[in-house]
Structure 1
Amino acid sequence: MYGERDTSTADDDDAHDGDAGDDNRPIYVTSGLLDVLLDMSESAEPEPLSVVLTPTRAGAFEADLGIDAETPVLTHFYLPEAGRSVTAVFGLDLSTPAGRGRARFHAHPQGPREPTKRDDFAAAVLVAVPPWERMAVRAYDRSGNRLALREIDAVPPEETLGDVAP
């Protein structure tokens, strides 16, 4: 089944879901990516986890997702360990190609349920806390304003090495 599923919860703390000032567009993420991120978070516990995320345009999917073709859908991630030694020496994340990784996922095993000053920020930030379930994931913009998180039950298009830009 293709389409979107709202992963926001209905408790009072979530009443401001989507209240993000001027830019309150939801963040779209595939079910498969959420599964992988939550599994990685559980495996890393009790350590926090930070993962660079990358999108695919909705129009690139084989199925109609019911959203604008130019809308980014988070579909892929860069392994957190990739380039760690280079980052330690130079203090820069050189493992993420330029122009990629405009979103980040952070797992906070001891909380809080929102971004912290220790997190690496991006245009979109997803934060998860235990229990490692979909309902424990929230989306924020660069300023820490809460955004709606919409799950897309679709498989991203297959990529080959020929798809990678030089």
Structure 2
Amino acid sequence: MIYITRDLLTVLLDHAAERSPASVNLQLSATPAGEFDANLGLPPETPVITHFTLSEVGRSVNAVFGVDLGTPAGRGRARFLSHPDGFLGVSETDDLAAVMVVTVPPYDDDHVAAFDRSGEGIELVVLDAVPPEESVPE
């Protein structure tokens, strides 16, 4: 089972619809369930997908130095992909991750699914939960 917040899924689906017919490929990050203010009814260590990173972040540093600064430490084991061609699955040309959330037109809740890196389906559970606020130290 893979958990994702409702707000994030909505943003991702909207982004895919706006970019269509181009495809979308975004890195996803998770927050442990125990860090949420509300009790999610999950073991505290259970990852809940809560954030995405734009593909352009850190690209120039990576190109020059080979260091991926676009991925927060300890995160990025999931990807969000859109397939404007309508294939709801994992293709050979996709960037693989431990978990891939894939959507197809019309980019709504009925046209999104999760898969492992081998293409096997995983149950995607959408949670109405707000991740904890994060701030950058001054």
Q: What TM-score results when the alignment is normalised by the length of structure 2?
A: 0.90
Decide which of 63, 66, 79 is 2:54's aligned counterpart. Answer: 79
The verdict on how the C-alpha distance between 1:31 and 1:106 changes in structure 2, with shifts beyond 3 A counting, is same
CA distance, structure 2, for counterparts of residue 123 and residue 52 of structure 1? 11
User: Does the aligned pair in 1 maintain the 2:57–2:69 contact within 8 Å?
Assistant: no
Q: Which amino acid aligns with 1:31?
A: R
Root-mean-square deviation (CA, aligned residues, Å) is 1.8
Decide which of 11, 33, 41 is 1:36's aligned counterpart. Answer: 11
Structure with the bigger RCO (C-alpha within 8 Å, sep 6+) is: 1
Question: Which sits farther off after the overlay, 88-97 or 111-120?
Answer: 88-97
What number of residue pairs does the alignment pair up? 137
1:68 aligns with 2:43: yes
User: Does the aligned pair in 1 maintain the 2:4–2:124 contact within 8 Å?
Assistant: yes
Percent identity between the two aligned chains: 53
Aligned partner of 1:158 in structure 2 is: 133
CA deviations over 1:47-103 (Å, ceiling 9, x no partner): 011000000000111111111111000000101222344556788855223432000
CA distance, structure 1, for counterparts of residue 123 and residue 2 of structure 2? 6
CA distance, structure 1, for counterparts of residue 81 and residue 7 of structure 2? 17
SS at match of 1:105: strand
Q: Which amino acid aligns with 1:42?
A: A
Aligned partner of 1:130 in structure 2 is: 105
Q: Aligned-pair distance for 1:135?
A: 1.5
The verdict on how the C-alpha distance between 1:88 and 1:39 changes in structure 2, with shifts beyond 3 A counting, is farther
SS at match of 1:161: coil
Q: What TM-score results when the alignment is normalised by the length of structure 1?
A: 0.76
The verdict on how the C-alpha distance between 1:116 and 1:89 changes in structure 2, with shifts beyond 3 A counting, is farther
The verdict on how the C-alpha distance between 1:160 and 1:48 changes in structure 2, with shifts beyond 3 A counting, is same
1:95-110 to structure 2, matched below 5 A, reads 95-110=70-85
CA distance, structure 2, for counterparts of residue 129 and residue 92 of structure 1? 32
Structure 2 unmatched runs, 5+: none
The verdict on how the C-alpha distance between 1:97 and 1:62 changes in structure 2, with shifts beyond 3 A counting, is closer
Question: Which sits farther off after the overlay, 83-92 or 143-152?
Answer: 83-92
CA distance, structure 1, for counterparts of residue 38 and residue 73 of structure 2? 29
1:48 aligns with 2:23: yes
Structure 1 unmatched runs, 5+: 1-25
